[in-house]
Amino acid sequence: MNQVILASHGELALGALDTIRMIVGEVPNVHAVILRRDDTEPITGKVEALIDGFADEDDVFVLTDMLGSSVNNAMVELMARRPRVRVVSGMNMPLVLTLVLGDAKVTPSELRSVIGEARAGIVDCANPDVSQAVTAPAPAAVSGKPSTIELARLDYRLLHGQVVFSWVGKTGVGRIIVVDDAAASDEVKKSALKLAKPSNVRLNVFTVERALSKMDKLNTLGEKVMFVFGNTHELLEFCRSYPLSEVNYGATANKDGAVQFGGKDGSVFLDEAERADTRALLDLGTRIYVQQTPSYKRVDLESV
**What contacts 209, CB < 8 A, 6 or more positions away?**
none
Distance CA 106, CA 2 (A): 9
DSSP 3-state assignment of 126?
Answer: coil
Active-site annotation holds for 31: no
Distance CA 177, CA 119 (A): 26
Active-site pick, 9, 31, 160, 233:
9
What per-residue string of b and e applies to 88-126 under the rule 16 or more CB within 10 Å gives b?
bbbbeebbbbbbbbbeeebeeeebeebbebbbbeeeeee
Distance CA 220, CA 173 (A): 16
Could you give the residue numbers annotated as active site? 9
